[in-house]
Amino acid sequence: MTTMRQLVGEVLRARRLAQGLTLRDVSARARVSLGYISEVERGQKEPSSELLAALATALDVPLSKVLLDVSSLMEVEEAAELATVSTIAPNKVEVSAA
């Protein structure tokens, strides 16, 4: 399963690219080193809440929207994982009514 930090990185990179921004652009706006942002986007670093807020501001998107995007990706990943487990061992999986 993809880690949460990888999903955060995917969302941030997709937002940046959709706006036609470079890492250098976001780095200058967020006042965060270009290298560190690159590591976050590649899922190598776990961003703090303060860093996420700075990057969201630099990308001109509400932090809540970034987190919703991450949540949506995570939901898709979890559903795919559950479907895989269900096909491998259909009698071993319990689904709660959550």
Q: How many domains does the structure of the chain reveal?
A: 1
**68 lies in some domain:** yes
Eight-class DSSP state of 1: -
- Structural domain of residue 56, as residue ranges? 4-88
pLDDT tens profile 67-97:
999 999 999 988 888 877 666 655 655 555 5
Q: Is residue 57 part of a domain?
A: yes
Name the DSSP letter for residue 61: S
Cα–Cα dist 25/28, whole Å: 5
For residues 43 and 5, the answer to whether their CB atoms sit within 8 Å is yes
User: What CATH code is carried by the domain that includes residue 14?
Assistant: 1.10.260.40
* 54-84: b (≥16 Cβ within 10 Å) or e: bbbebbebeeeebeebbeebbeebeeeeeee
Q: Is 59 contained in some domain?
A: yes
pTM > 0.85: no
Query: Does residue 64 carry a pLDDT above 90?
Result: yes
